[in-house]
Amino acid sequence: MKKIKTTPLAPHEFEVEQISENEANIIAYPFETGYAISLAHPLRRFLLSSSVGYAPVAIKIEGAKHEFDSVRGMLEDISDFILNLKEIRFKLLNGTLESEIKYSFTGPCTIKGSNLSNDEVTIVTPEAHLATLNEDSVLNFSLKIVQGIGYVASEDTMSEMEGGYIALDAYFTPVRSATYKIDNILVEDNPNFEKVILNIKTDGQISPLDAFKNSLEVMYAQLAVFNSEISVKAPTSIERVEESSDIKRLTTNIDTLGLSARSFNCLDRSNIKLVGEIALMSINDLKNVKNLGKKSYDEILEKLSEFGFEVGTLSDEIASALKKKIEAL
CATH code of residue 112: 2.170.120.12
pLDDT of residue 181: 95
Q: What is the tens place of the pLDDT at every residue in 169-205?
A: 999 999 999 999 999 998 878 888 999 999 999 999 9
CA distance 154 to 162: 14
Query: What is the length of the chain?
Result: 329
Please check whether residues 100 and 164 belong to one and the same domain.
yes
Which pLDDT value is given to residue 232? 53
- 305 is a domain residue: yes
pTM of the model: 0.65
DSSP per residue over 11-56, as a string? P-EEEEEEEETTEEEEEEEEE-TTHHHHHHHHHHHHHHHH-EEEEE
Q: pLDDT, tens digit, for every residue of 206-237?
A: 999 999 999 998 888 888 777 665 555 555 54
209 in helix, strand or coil? helix
Q: How many domains does the chain have?
A: 3
User: Quick check: is 75 in a domain?
Assistant: yes
- Contact of 201 with 208, CB cutoff 8 Å: yes
Q: Judge residue 290's burial from the number of C-beta atoms within 10 Å of its C-beta, 0-12 exposed, 13-18 middle, 19 or more buried.
A: exposed
Q: List helix spans (H) across the chain.
A: 35-50, 78-86, 208-223, 237-242, 245-250, 261-269, 275-279, 283-287, 294-306, 316-328
| pLDDT score recorded for residue 133 | 95
Q: Which domain holds residue 131?
A: 53-171
Q: Are residues 182 and 44 in the same domain?
A: yes
Q: Is residue 240 included in any domain, yes or no? A: no
Last residue of a domain, one of 171, 196, 218: 171
Greatest extent of the chain over all pairs of C-alpha atoms, in Å? 88
Q: Are residues 64 and 31 in the same domain?
A: no
The reply to whether 218 and 275 lie within a common domain is: no
CATH of the domain at 265: 1.10.150.20
Are residues 315 and 167 part of one domain? no
**Residues 185 and 164 placed together within one structural domain of the fold:** no
Together in a domain, 59 and 167:
yes
Q: Do the domain assignments include residue 291?
A: yes
Q: What is the pLDDT of residues 18-40, one digit of tens each?
A: 999 999 999 999 999 999 999 99
Residue where a domain terminates, one of 138, 155, 171:
171
Q: State which residues of the chain have pLDDT below 70.
A: 1-2, 157-162, 227-245
Q: Is 4 inside any structural domain?
A: no
Pair 187, 209 in one domain: yes
Work out the angle between the directed axes of helices 294-306 and 261-269 (0-180°, nearest 10).
Answer: 90
Residues 164 and 259 grouped into a single domain: no
Last residue within a domain, chosen from 124, 145, 171: 171
Same domain membership, residue 119 and residue 199:
no
Alpha-carbon dihedral of residues 46, 95, 126, 112, nearest 10 degrees?
120
Query: How far apart (Å, rounded) are the C-alpha atoms in residues 321 and 95?
Result: 13
Clarify whether residues 59 and 123 are in a common domain.
Answer: yes
**How many whole angstroms separate alpha carbon 146 and alpha carbon 57?**
7
Is residue 64 located within the same domain as residue 161?
A: yes
Identify whether the C-beta of residue 52 lies closer than 8 Å to the C-beta of residue 172: yes
